[in-house]
Amino acid sequence: MPMSLKETDMISGLRSAAAQLSGDDGELNMDFSCIARIDAGAMRALEDLARKAEERRVKVVLSGVNVNVYKTLKLARLSRRFSFVN
């Protein structure tokens, strides 16, 4: 089951996901379909999550990412650190 994120507590959701990462998971799925806009704090939390996932060799898959958020990740050069499913 993908982990569903909410815009109101996105940063804590991402931090919690990062904290629970373990090498055995192999893949972490996160549902972004409720995220209309992403702020700088959430971007930093995502960056942190990406770094930890890379260290533990966990693939992070983001689903339901809207076009504006996708472009934001792209511009911040974060998109290449995640996998995306529609």
Residues that bind other proteins in the complex, under the rule CB under 8 A: 37-41, 43-44, 47, 68-69, 71-77
In the bound state with other proteins, the residue whose beta carbon lies nearer, of 49 and 69, is 69
In the bound state with other proteins, the residue whose beta carbon lies nearer, of 25 and 47, is 47
In the bound state with other proteins, the residue whose beta carbon lies nearer, of 6 and 37, is 37
Kindly provide the b/e burial profile for residues 50-73, where b requires at least 16 CB atoms within 10 angstroms of the residue's own CB: beebeeeebebebebbeeebeebb
- Minimum distance of other proteins from residue 3's CB (angstroms): 22
- Minimum distance of other proteins from residue 24's CB (angstroms): 31
What three-state secondary structure class fits 59?
strand
